[in-house]
Chains A and B, each alone.
Chain A
Amino acid sequence: MGRYVIRRLIQAIPVLLGATLLIFVIVFALPGDPIAALFGDKRPDAAVAEVLREQYHLNDPLLLQYWYYISGVLFRGDFGVNFADVPVSQIMAGKFQVTLNLALTALVMEALIGVGLGLWAALRRGKATDTMILASTLLLISVPTLVTGFVLQLILGVKLKQWTGADIFPVAGTFAGWRSYLLPGFVLAGTSIAYLTRLTRTSLAETLRADYIRTATAKGLPRRRVIGRHGLRNALIPLVTYLGADLGNLMGGAVITETIFNLPGIGNQLYTSVYLREQPVVVGIVTILVLIYILANLVVDLLYAVLDPRIRYE
């Protein structure tokens, strides 16, 4: 088990190096000069632009620039500075917290609502409840996040306050503590809730038809125990896989949600930095996102053994 974890972590190193180099090349290959981007529609003073280019090593060959960058990260834990001389690590520190809060809120909502609804639908298969749940998930999947985001913000954020005076769902920012994450968390989780509902329903329905369920029922076990211990636990494996992979998706998918709700998270920053051609910030964020993705997948793989004792690692 320990060996397996270490092997997986060592495998992550080339993935990380490859991903950062790739992102570095892609960001660099984008047309437009990052220094010119700082000046908007006006032509930068040639001498000023030159001093800045020199300062940020932009005149050096790409591989040398990558080396400056990656050696800083590997040997000094230094992610460099952006073009306003702000350390990238400072930019990322606060933002990952926000995005992590948001992603966890979304993940909890997915697990509770998605699995809950799926369970309900599976137990009432073919009945009106089941049809209604399936129809509503279809609706959730087909409406883009951008729309759900703005509509919910307008109805629950603006109108609700105008009508009742109660400030329940903040429109923007993280000033209201955990309440700030409820609405954006739901919007971010939206499509995943729907998928998870459908996945749970199918997986559980299939499991409930299995021989051992019939055996358990025949033994006279209470229905709660049959569904909980024997049914749901066995149906969980695809769900955990989905949730684990989804944590990475949520971190990346936060771009739209964070912009709508003005959350100062990583998605928001990624968007701004791509726009401003801030290679160091973009590569720094992507590096950490890749790392999170790798770790989340590792945790998922390890959880299999807990759920199904037949799975062994070596």
Chain B
Amino acid sequence: MEVGEPQELLNPQNTTETEGSEVLAAVFSPLVRYDENKQPVEEAAESITTSDSKVWTIKLKSGYTWHDGTPVTAADYARAWNYAAYQDNAMASSYFFGRVDGYNDVHPGEGKTPTAKEMKGLKAVDDLTLEVTLTAPFSQFKTMLGYTAFYPLPKAAFGADGKVTQAYGEQPIGQGLFKVDKPYKKGTDQTIDMTVYDKFPGAKPKNWKKLQFKIYTSAETAYNDLQAENLDVDDSLPASAIASAKAALGDRYFDEPDAAVGYIGVPLKYNPDFKNPDVRKAISMAIDRKTITETVFSGTRAPADDFINPAIPGYRQGACTSCTYNPAEAKKLYDAAKGPSKIELGYNADGGHKEWIEAVANNLRANLNIEVTPKPFEKFQGILDALDAKEYKGLFRMGWSIDYPSAENYLTPIFGTGSIGTGSNYGGYSNKDFDELVAKGDQAADPAEGLKFYQQADDILIKDLPYIPVYFYRSNFGHSTKVKNVKLNLLNQVQWADIEKA
């Protein structure tokens, strides 16, 4: 299996990037997994119930043991989550626990000292029951629980100083399908080796026992290794190989929607030129998404037509009507709304965005008859800093990959008023109706009802276009002739138990 080098040691609560998460997904068994209908179903949990979306009771399945043989208890979950949330531990995933009651006591924010070590909303009732109280109802809480940050930690993970040890990060003890064979020395080791854990109570692979993650720095090299059959599963084929991969791999090549979205961000808070929604609409209609996704991205992206990605429940095909290419209408609208005659398009030069930004610039130049300057920033952070400092007032490239597979995750973090300054609402969009609808969705008694409100909130975004959705990511993966039945879940993690040796 191909993987990039994990950024941090293998500590679930400090891992928010995909590579490390992918490795940890093999070692841990999540509370919920996602079924074919993209719905969360209990995995390590026996049941997850609530009557008001505020107090959640998580019953654990008995029979789960840590790789050192000790049984998994509710206290192991409470301990891990409290550890993650506690400010001074500086865990990257701390914000995932922001909805749990008592989060502000353990994580009061920059410059303030925590007043408690544990969140009061987290209670291990007995060995197999965990009760979670949220600050406010959140109908999507169950969906969140499949994420890396919500894995438990065994007592053995902690050192005398109460911190997760270096040794644990190198050889994590999990309660999942695979046991890590030997410590992974980050920076030195090129593989992470694992063996099926015999006492794992869930589904196990039929006819194989050993799993090896091979770390690659270049996607092209990994693809060459796949072709030479030195690698069995490659779940991030390089764009340069897509055209030939279909022919070379045949039915071993897969192309599926991936939950991430690419936008053109609008600096509503920083530049009044874009205040009029018609200006945004005109810009959106002037972008030829189909050609960009097919030519610039050689088909590895799909034209965006909603704020919610097709991989996630709640997506509606063609929902964003002003995402359809219509240059004539765009020009009319833009002139009537008196849009700015000069536009800058900011992008970070480190992530392969130059080409599609240039293409968008050409579209806008040709269709709106305005001056458009693509403006490279070295890092994405540079754009944000320049926005914050009010030095930069142009449009900017923006991308979003989900934290948990719920429609809500495309709304609150990017467009919620509360996410200005603290979350990822970089444009500074603020709309009362939108915030209210999202809150109604959060408070809904069940996820399906919640989704209705999220879609209504989505409708407001489509009308307002605070950002301009341009493309949906797709995941392109392939496997060797030695294995079959390779599938990815909603988090783009390989479903190991399903794979069979061919």
Residues in A lying within 8 Å of B, measured CB to CB: 30-33, 36-52, 55, 82, 84-86, 90-91, 93-95, 150, 153-154, 157-158, 161-162, 167, 170-175, 258-262, 264, 268-269, 271-272, 275-276
Q: Which of B30-38, B104-112, B192-200, B332-340 contacts A (4 or more CB under 8 A)?
A: B104-112
Using a CB-CB cutoff of 8 Å, which residues 166-193 of chain B contact chain A? 166, 185-188, 190
Nearest opposing residue in chain A for B91, CB measure:
A48
Asked if B438 is at the interface of the complex by the 8 Å CB criterion, the answer is no
B227 A47 Cβ-Cβ under 8 A = no
B381 within 8 A of A: yes
Q: How far is the CB of B275 from chain A (nearest CB, A)?
A: 24
- Whether B87 is near chain A, meaning CB under 8 Å from some CB there, is yes
Asked if A261 contacts B188 (CB within 8 A), the reply is no
Quick check: B228 and A157 within 8 Å, CB to CB?
A: yes
Cα–Cα distance between A50 and B113 once the two chains are bound (Å): 12
Shortest distance in angstroms between A264's beta carbon and chain B's nearest beta carbon?
5
B9 touches A47 (CB 8 A): no
B193 CB, nearest partner CB in chain A, Å: 12
In the complex, what residues of A have CB within 8 A of residue B227's CB? 158, 162
Q: State the CA gap A52–B382 with chains docked (Å).
A: 19
Cross-chain pairs A/B with CB under 8 angstroms, 29 sampled: A31-B377, A36-B381, A37-B379, A37-B381, A39-B92, A41-B398, A41-B401, A43-B422, A44-B92, A45-B94, A45-B95, A46-B422, A48-B87, A84-B7, A85-B166, A86-B9, A91-B187, A153-B221, A153-B224, A154-B224, A158-B228, A161-B228, A161-B229, A162-B227, A171-B225, A172-B214, A172-B230, A259-B217, A262-B217
B384-408 interface (Cβ within 8 A of A): 384-385, 398-401
**Do A84 and B190 touch (CB < 8 A)?**
no
A262 touches B216 (CB 8 A): yes
B222 at the interface (CB under 8 A from A): yes
The answer to whether B220 and A43 touch across the interface, beta carbons within 8 angstroms, is no
Is there contact, CB below 8 Å, between A269 and B187? yes
Instruction: State whether the Cβ of B8 lies closer than 8 Å to any Cβ in chain A.
Output: yes
- Contact between B228 and A38, CB atoms less than 8 A apart: no
Flag if A171 contacts B17 (CB, 8 Å). no
Q: Are B188 and A91 in contact (CB under 8 A)?
A: yes
CB neighbours of B166 from chain A (8 A): 85
How many residues of B are counted as interface, with CB atoms below 8 angstroms from the partner's CB atoms? 57
- B residues sitting closer than 8 Å to A (CB atoms) are 5, 7-9, 16-17, 87-92, 94-95, 107-112, 166, 185-188, 190, 214-218, 220-222, 224-225, 227-230, 350, 377-382, 384-385, 398-401, 422-424, 426
Return the contact of A31 from the options B9, B92, B378 (Cβ within 8 A).
B378
* A48 nearest in chain B by CB position: B90
Instruction: Tell me the complex Cα distance, A150–B188, Å.
Output: 24
Quote the shortest CB–CB distance from A41 to chain B (angstroms).
5
Q: Which residues of A contact B112 (CB under 8 A)?
A: 47
Of B92, B216, B229, B381, most buried by chain A (CB within 10 Å of CB) is B381
What CA separation (Å) do A262 and B226 show in the bound complex? Answer: 13
Given contacts A31-B378, A47-B110, A262-B217, 20 further A-B contacts (CB under 8 A): A33-B381, A38-B8, A45-B94, A46-B422, A47-B107, A48-B90, A51-B88, A85-B166, A86-B186, A90-B185, A91-B186, A171-B230, A172-B216, A259-B221, A260-B218, A260-B221, A262-B216, A264-B190, A264-B215, A268-B217
Check if A39 sits within 8 Å of B16, measured CB to CB.
yes
A101 to B336, CA, bound (A): 67
Residue of B nearest to A86 (CB): B186
> Which residue of A has the minimal Cβ distance to B348?
A41
Q: Are B384 and A43 in contact (CB under 8 A)?
A: yes
Q: State whether B224 touches A158 (Cβ < 8 A).
A: yes
In whole angstroms, how far apart are the Cα atoms of A298 and B399 in the complex?
51
Which of A41, A43, A154, A161 is the one whose CB lies under 8 Å from B399?
A41
CA distance A312 to B339 in the complex (A): 78
Q: Are B221 and A171 in contact (CB under 8 A)?
A: yes
Nearest CB on A from B16, distance (A): 7
Say whether, besides A42-B424, A91-B187, A171-B230, A51 and B87 are in contact (CB < 8 Å): yes
Residues from chain B with Cβ under 8 Å of A258 in the complex: 217
| CB-based contact A84/B378 at 8 Å | no
Report chain B residues within 8 Å CB of A172. Answer: 214, 216, 221-222, 224-225, 230
Q: Quote the shortest CB–CB distance from B233 to chain A (angstroms).
A: 15
Beyond A40-B17, A171-B224, is A264–B188 a contact (Cβ under 8 Å)?
Answer: yes
Report Cα–Cα, A30/B422, bound state, in Å.
25
Least CB distance, A59 to chain B, in whole angstroms: 12
The distance from the CB of A83 to the nearest CB of chain B, in whole angstroms, is: 8
Q: Is the CB of B379 within 8 A of A94?
A: no
Contacts of B88 in A (CB 8 A): 51
Q: Are B381 and A275 in contact (CB under 8 A)?
A: no
For residue B494, give the distance in angstroms from its CB to the closest CB of chain A. 20
Residue of A55, A93, A167, A275 near B188 (CB, 8 A) is A93
Pair A262/B381 contact, Cβ less than 8 Å: no
Contact of B379 among A31, A52, A264, A268 (CB under 8 A): A31
